Chain A
Amino acid sequence: MTSFANRLFGPLDPATEAGYLDPPTRKGFFTDTSVCIGCKACEVACKEWNAVPEDGISLTGMSYDNSVGLGASTWRHVAFIEQPSGAREHPGEESASFRWLMESDVCKHCTHAACLDVCPTGALMRSEFGTVVVQNDVCNGCGYCVPACPYGVIERREGPKDEPAVGLAQKCTLCYDRLKGDLEPACAKACPTQSIQFGDLDELRVRAKGRVDQLVEAGVSDAQLYGHDPRDGVGGAGAFFLLLDRPEVYGLPPDPVVTTKALPQMWRQAALAAATLLVGSLAAFVERRNR
């Protein structure tokens, strides 16, 4: 049983918290960027399976990255970073004069998901797998989830009104339909190097710890896990990463916090301000007697 204090912040099992009785073990992604080769098979597989429309076909000049970032029509995004000089690329190598960093980014399926917390229609919901999913038939496109997400993941789809899901908030579903059919998500299935690993979150966390220890021991001192800690600002991410540099280099926030952590404080301030207005208005009707 989870204490009330943890409902806005801190470790908990999100499916149980959402009211599922006896849910399956929490599912997630471990994305090991140290073996990513930047093939973008994940981006393509995601689009194919989820029928995600085209997200712009211009060249950006940002290395091999032409999809720019996660958004309404980009649910997996491969970041490409060219570093002129850096740490050793592979264990045992001499220090390289140039290195590639590649990372396949995705919705973090936060334990404490701000997008879900602020959704006023209940369109964003917690699945039995502990993931966060938009129900397209419920969303009315208020857009509140967009500024709420601390990672800038979810977005309202713009475009001609008659195209699918235009005007609705859109993001990775962790292939909810495939999970229900006992299949792994399309991106993980397509990944040729097992950079994207899908599975039970507990098990992935153990595996990731082993991998990062191995890399550090081999001299890749910058190797670090990101989003694996249930005590972090979002209660741990359902999709976490092994990075080879600081998170912000990949466009990730270095220490994200779910906005609703401060909710009690925010409502308290609003109540104080409301009381101030009420008292002030009453006082405005007090006439000085000797007028």
Chain B
Amino acid sequence: MVPKASFGSYYGRPVVKASPWQADIPAYLFLGGLAGGSSLLAAGADLTGRPGLRRSCRVTALGALGVSFAALVHDLGRPARFHHMLRVAKFTSPMSVGTWILTAYGPLAALAALSEARDQLPRPLRTGLVGRALPGAGSAAGVLAGVLAPALASYTAVLLADTATPSWHDARHHLPFVFVGSAAAAAGGLGMVNAPLRESGPAQRLAVAGSVLDLAASHHMESSIGLSAEPMRQGRAGAYRRAAQALTAAGALLAAFGARRSRAAAVLSGAALAAGSACTRFAIFHAGQQSATDPRYTVQPQRERLDAGRPVRFEGPAEPA
């Protein structure tokens, strides 16, 4: 328990503003992670000769990517101007970095998935140049997408952390690990759901390891960020968090002990893990929103460091103005 300290405020009004983002953004956090994790599994499946796992993961990645794109555009105040993101490239803006990651990753993931449709092509196309080039192009694109995928799965943590929202910024050390763990759990889970049982070993191992990382990093995060952990346990954030923990833990246990033996167990645990991953993202999202709405989370830590004589000040050498 963090002791309640008195602090001043202006009629209890928030000091920082909560983001204007709606459900689109936590949904994207989930789907971006799912796409990234799936591309990694697909690339591995391709290189190790698991066509069933490869195909399903490529399709999952493209589907998640498509919905992500729609969500990101929909969330804008001026959706018709989404392409203004491509005017600049700024490393101080995780959203700009993410735009460029998606711009590079998207076409590769799409090409990898489309190459799976080769057999559905009309015969002249299938036996022509396009049809013959498609598998090789799909493999190359798939491996490159896999190389970019870890960045896609982890940058979204910086997207949230690079704000003045207390519960996001204070979680900056841990959030990337929570997010990649969550991405691995979701992608492994859906891989288990969609791939044939005899090929789903890597998906199952990724799912279990991802769940463990998600749960461990979340636990570590909550025990080390002090007051900013409080909103994670309250309100909507708390409800999502409890659901995320239950689904992820149950899904991981089932994946570890049943999913290689029975198809039903694989589907059930995979679905639980994907749902758990989505809940993790919604929990973190709402924790941040809640922490921004109550001035205590902004004022109290700042007041404490001021009163302790440790304000944040530049200590470097004086610069001539």
Contacts and interface: CB of A to CB of B under 8 A. Distances in A.
A and B associate in one complex: yes
Interface string A1-17: 01101101111110000
- Judged by DSSP, the binding face of A is loop
A255 B13 contact: no
B129 interface: no
A257 B77 contact: no
A238 interface: no
Interface string B188-211: 100000000000011101100110
A39 interface: no
Contacts of B13: 68-69, 251
Q: On chain A, which size bracket covers the interface?
A: 35 or more
Interface string A263-274: 101110111111
A232 interface: yes
Contacts of B137: none
Contact of B184 (A139, A202, A254, A280): A280
A270 B164 contact: no
A192 interface: no
Contact of B41 (A10, A65, A230, A281): A281
Contacts of A196: none
Nearest to B161: A266
Given A117-B92, A167-B77, A233-B312, A259 B164 contact: yes
| Most central of B76, B93, B173, B318 by chain A CB within 10 Å | B93
Interface residues of B, number: 92
8 tightest A-B contacts by CB? A141-B77, A167-B77, A251-B10, A273-B176, A140-B81, A274-B150, A120-B95, A255-B302
Contact of B176 (A12, A272, A282): A272
B45 to A, nearest CB: 8
18 contacts: A11-B319, A71-B17, A120-B95, A121-B85, A140-B76, A140-B84, A148-B163, A151-B15, A233-B311, A246-B8, A251-B11, A251-B15, A259-B161, A263-B92, A269-B157, A273-B179, A274-B153, A281-B150
A256 interface: yes
Contacts of B188: 284
B303 A254 contact: yes
Interface in B62-77: 75-77
A265 B175 CA distance: 12
Contacts of B76: 140-143, 167
A265 B184 CA distance: 23
A11 B165 CA distance: 24
Interface in A171-213: 202
B103 interface: no
Interface of A: 2-3, 5-6, 8-13, 62, 65, 68-69, 71, 79, 81, 114, 117-123, 138-144, 146-158, 166-169, 202, 229-233, 235, 245-246, 248-257, 259-263, 265-267, 269-278, 280-285, 287
Contacts, number: 285
Interface stretch (B105-113, B231-239, B246-254, B292-300): B292-300
A266 B20 contact: no
B299 A254 contact: yes
Contacts of B184: 277, 280-281
Nearest to A167: B77
Contacts of B180: 273-274, 276-277
B135 interface: no
Contact of A255 (B20, B37, B205, B312): B312
Contacts of A123: 84
Interface string B155-179: 1011001111100110011011101
B288 interface: yes
Given A266-B162, A273-B179, A273-B180, A143 B20 contact: yes
B257 interface: no
Name, among A12, A13, A235, A263, the residue most crowded by chain B CB atoms within 10 Å (CB to CB): A263
B288 A147 contact: yes
B156 to A, nearest CB: 9
A214 to B, nearest CB: 24
